[in-house]
Chains A and B, each alone.
Chain A
Amino acid sequence: MLTLRINGLDVQAEEWWSILETARFYGIEIPTFCYRDGLSAWGGCRLCIVEIGEGKNTKLVSSCTYPVTDGLVVRTHSKRVIAARKLLVELLLSSCPSSKTIQDLAAKLGVQKVRFKVEHEDCVYCGLCVRICAEQMGAKAIGFVNRGGKIKITTPFDRKSEVCRHCGACMYVCPACQLRCQGTEPPQVVCGSCLRLEPTCTEFYPDLMCYMGAEGNCGTCVREEPKKKG
């Protein structure tokens, strides 16, 4: 067992744990986006950054990939960490405002505005689909192509994949292409912190918990009462 200090607390961790795993074990919440139990840590979204070290020489590292060492000093919610996380969420939000996962993150971290040009991209390149396809489904049907602004996730040479079994795991894990939230005030991108709003679609769909708070205006459900079959 190794001993390290998280947020002033001396904690013990197994040698093979990451900082994130250790923090979670002790109930310290670190926001994540491209991390998922059962998949290898990727370290791409950087939301799980923590500040390590002491004094002047501290630095930010992604806790999901950083292995614990003896005597490591970690701060999960320092001023520097929070400021960076907020900007990262703002970057995510500006490129894919329709993702509920991202909107929820924004609401949780208190991101109230987006100062960048709003894009409506379909993918945030978190790589969850690539990993679940390779690691859990054993198919390796999709992967990253190109780099920089031209990056995309697709099958080799964009051809119909022979190894893809259409299991849908990639769609299941995707935080961007799930149920789309159009937002109550689209120009503002931030959808109005859904977490605080009462679900109102319930008058149409009593069984569905809608977080949109848009009284059917959100675009995903319809105003009319669903026609009864037959």
Chain B
Amino acid sequence: MLAEVKADRIRTSEDLEEVRAKIIKGRSSKIPCIVIPSGTCCQARGSSEVVEAFQQEIEKHSLQDNIALRITGCGGFCQSEPNLIIYPEEVYYQKVSPDDAEEVISETVLRGRVIDRLLYADPNTGERFAHLSEIPFFKKQKRLLLANNLQVNPTSINDYLAAKGYSALSKVLQEKTPDEVINEIKESGLRGRGGAGFPTGRKWELCRKARGDVKYVICNADEGDPGAYMDRSLLEGNPHSVIEGMIIGAYAIGASEGFIYVRNEYPLAVRHCRLAVQKAREYGFLGNDILGSGFSFDIKISMGAGAFVCGEETALIASIQGGRGIPRQRPPFPAERGLWDRPTNINNVETWANVPLIMTKGASWYSKIGTEGSKGTKIFSLVGKINNTGLVEVPLGIILREIVYDIGGGIPRGKRFKAVQTGGPSGGCIPSSLLDLPIDYESLKEAGSIMGSGGMIVMDEDTCMVDIARYYTSFLNDESCGKCLPCRKGTQRMLEILTDISEGKGEEGDIGLLEELALVTKDTSLCGLGQTAPNPVLSTIRYFQDEYEAHIKEKRCPAGVCKELISYYIEPDKCQACLICLRNCPVEAITGGKGLVHIIDQEKCIKCGTCLDVCPPRFGAVTRLSGEKVPEPALQGTEVIRKRSGETDVNT
């Protein structure tokens, strides 16, 4: 392990540089360093065991002084976890098991030989890449925030200091007035990363100008979208960057206290945040008279119980105050009357993490990245039917196709791309015809979706859009706080209609009613949750109306997903009576026997699709039908037509 340099409370900027120099000096940059990302996602895939194996291996050979081991937050490439990177060469190994520890250390670290089998191979071309920077997934990204996740151990403030941490804060406190900070953020064009995309500089200015002697800043880490985890990853991997951003923001606004509102379901993020706040306090970045500037600020951690609606700022404030997490009317905006009726500024984790970056590198540098209206980079969590699952950080304005195909590596098993769902449950689905859409706040809104916090769920041809709309509407119906009628009842009614459609009980006029209901819910709901809740319904109707019509008119599910509209059938002339489907059927709905054609009892069948999955491809006897009548089954006891050996198909 790297030697830790202890520091007392740092009182001035000069002190800070001295401590930083001492930390860097105490670390030898010559010895190789093994970085093992171990965020929540990595741990779920077994990174903790890998870390343990490497620690034991290093101890066993007494290599503590020759090899550095750094355990960091998630590096972003979740598909390849547990993975590790060996610096300085940046050798990247994927899907490492604890058994590989010995070989990796003896071969790669000590002898410099690359182990082929642990390298990442492109799923489409099979090409292997040895170094992190060569892998297409990383190559096309612009990792301004995420790259630091691999540089620092989140539990070590010294790592953060060694990576030039808190230098932005020291620069701001020394050189800039609060108004200059706000102007810099305004010029940078940074917009809120939580969803709505409100310009951060203007938000800060409103709060600064608001009357009140006590002001607050809040970090919104109540990330609740299914399939999105960029905020968790940032908080877990680099909590100090968020804290530094908050201190700078508090200085600009004139706030004396800050809160990090993080959900209790993120135990690692909570732990790392707690530790980071405590360390920052010990070192003097929080507390009274920060770095001798006379500015005082402290941060408390507030845990949420995991209600999706608490990501809405007024509900979040209510929750911190100990009340029920329900939104209220804006205006008055939190900038005027927020936490305990005092001016409050709320920003998302990623927004705060961007602040030190802008302060260090300057607004003009930052504003060169991105498009006219959307500046900087944005982290998306790319999940679903995609080859390279993980967190991708890209400059705004990037074309959707580049994310899906160049970074994401396309759709697995050669399936066809159908749509991508952006912005979490209250976002919309973007169809394949819009693959060349630039990803920024405006164009996403125009396409009927939202940026949201950055979830990106890729769907292939096997996804039923009615089913997707139903899933999201059901999520939102559960997560609606229940305060206002259109959100509570509107989502419930939409869900009922969608369920009917997916069960084949849809009627003519249902689409019109859905649309009417969706528009009213959007128009009249109290908060952002209700106002965006109809987006999944509206966007799927807009782009996939034919699927809705197939469900309603033909009682057919084109993707073969909706259970009530599909049935499985064994073609008698193809069945070879191999008994595989019969044995695997969980409800014993298949009858037949040795030499007898198998028959599915449609009454008993629960449409799990197991028979289709297990039927050997060379027979291909099981078919999935939708929208057509199941043919009469063969008579019980019909003997099979045997394929002669060498024959590939009974029909030829």
Contacts and interface: CB of A to CB of B under 8 A. Distances in A.
B4 interface: no
Nearest to B530: A46
Given A62-B526, A67-B332, A147-B480, A46 B488 contact: no
A88 B485 contact: yes
Nearest to A51: B523
A65 B329 contact: yes
Contacts of B482: 125, 144, 146-148, 151
A43 B523 contact: no
Interface in B455-486: 477-486
Interface stretch (B137-145, B162-170, B513-521): B513-521
Contacts of A66: 329, 331
Given A43-B484, A67-B331, A148 B478 contact: yes
B490 interface: yes
Give the interface size bracket for B toward A: 20 to 34
A223 to B, nearest CB: 36
For the residues of A in contact with B, the DSSP-based class is: mixed
Contacts of B642: none
B488 to A, nearest CB: 7
A208 B382 CA distance: 66
B10 interface: no
Nearest to A69: B331
Interface stretch (A79-87, A168-176, A199-207): A79-87
Nearest to B495: A149
A60 B489 CA distance: 18
A121 to B, nearest CB: 10
B616 to A, nearest CB: 44
B478 A46 contact: no
A94 B485 CA distance: 12
A67 B477 CA distance: 29
Nearest to B480: A148
B496 interface: yes
Contacts of A46: 484-486, 524-526
A157 interface: no
B483 A88 contact: no
A87 B485 contact: no
Contacts of A143: 324
Given A44-B483, A66-B329, A91-B485, A148 B477 contact: yes
A149 B524 contact: no
Q: Which 3 A-B pairs have the closest CB atoms?
A: A151-B482, A65-B329, A148-B478
Given A88-B520, A125-B483, 7 more contacts: A43-B526, A61-B329, A80-B523, A83-B520, A87-B517, A87-B520, A147-B309
Interface of B: 307, 309, 324, 326, 328-329, 331-332, 477-486, 488-490, 492-493, 496, 513, 516-517, 520, 523-526
